[in-house]
Amino acid sequence: MEEPSGARSGRLEALAAATPTSRERYVDFLRAASIVAVVFGHWFIGIIFWTGGIIGVHSAIGVTSGLWLATWVFQVIPIFFFVGGFANFVAYRSLAARNGGGVRRFLRTRAVRLLKPTALFVATWLLIEMVLHLIGRGGTGLVRGVRLGNTLPFGPLWFLGVYFVVVMASPVTIALHRRYGLVVPATMALGVIVADVLGLAGGVRGIRDANILLVWSLAHQLGYFYADGSLVRLGRRGHAAMAMVGLVALITLTNIGVYPRSMLGTDAGFFHLKLIERNSNMNPPTVCVLALTLWLVGLAMLARPWISRRLERPRPWKATIAANSMIMSLFLWHMTAYAAAVLLLYPLGLGHEGDSTATWWLERPIWELIPALFLTGIVLVVGRFERPRPRAGAVGT
């Protein structure tokens, strides 16, 4: 049964009022902002194809001059892993203090938080596929022929799979952090570099797949330094230096001819001759994503004092709480909402541009608004399945 709007508003008021002064509200803001950026970014860059009963999207970045630059700011998955590291460190430390250990409870709690809304998503789509099969549409709807890199509608699952592994390894990586500190991310960074050299220059097959865990674990590990205060104590100069090192590394690496400039994988090579990437920075992640992580985390820490002051105000903080209360639902279902928008708008003549033409740009507000309306309706139904029972200070931990 859907939660009444008055009850939701009252719950937000209660959670906002119960927030302890010690809470790092900025972490909740970064988590919400990063997922919202992913959602609207996926909708924005979509170029739709609908051929032979196959519906899908590919990225406009591969066919649009200069659009790659936006990925240096809006490819925010490193930030999500970063704030995940903070939240997992704090939650693990809290459970350890209360229970003298609490590893099993920590893992169980984190697993349920991730898997419960994911199970609902998967079960719903299995049901949809069964219905399509029964009515003779199975295998010709939204699934058959989905190409590598396509995000419609199951793209979010790869991200959650990696994040789940990283979170389940948290007790080990937290222990390593406490004992070895900076040696841990430095070792991970060295592993990324070695994997890239062996894979790209040495031709060693499969070695770069190690970067899937190394790169995202490193971003998660940096969150531990935020949680224990080390990163905050660097100060503005340290944060500016961190961002600058990352930016200079990005500029250098993307101009040596091995790495593409886009921080998103582009599938333009399947459909166009304008850009065929030899390598993707995301599949698997490269040392460029490591540099991107330093750049974005440095920027985020520079913005922290200004945004944190504004999060002390009731309205921005309640909006942050609201977004975090349905963050998994937003992420899991945003491409389903986009698929629904395609089914509505494509027959009306919208979304037919096979390139980033002037018409494609003019349609961008429509392809943000209509999926947002569908996603709002979906989240109102499924969002309650991911919300934990309210307790003081529990938002987003």
Does the residue 202 lie in any domain? yes
Does the residue 3 lie in any domain? no
CA 231 – CA 293 distance, rounded (Å):
14
Does the residue 2 lie in any domain? no
User: Which pLDDT belongs to residue 202?
Assistant: 87
Structural domain for 175, as ranges: 42-53+68-385
Does the residue 99 lie in any domain? yes
User: Which pLDDT belongs to residue 101?
Assistant: 62
Does the residue 231 lie in any domain? yes
Does the residue 105 lie in any domain? yes
Low-confidence ranges of the chain (pLDDT < 50): 1, 140-150, 268-277, 391-396
User: Which pLDDT belongs to residue 121?
Assistant: 92
Q: Where is 75: in which H helix or E strand?
A: none
Q: Are 317 and 298 in contact (CB under 8 A)?
A: no
Report the domain count for the chain: 1
CA distances, 271 to each of 101, 158, 217, 267 (Å): 53, 23, 33, 8
User: Which pLDDT belongs to residue 99?
Assistant: 63
User: Which pLDDT belongs to residue 267?
Assistant: 52
Strands 54-59 and 46-51 turn out to be: antiparallel
Does the residue 31 lie in any domain? no
User: Which pLDDT belongs to residue 59?
Assistant: 87
- pTM for this entry: 0.89
Verify cis geometry, omega within 30 degrees of 0, for the bond prior to 78. Answer: no
Does the residue 273 lie in any domain? yes
User: Which pLDDT belongs to residue 126?
Assistant: 85
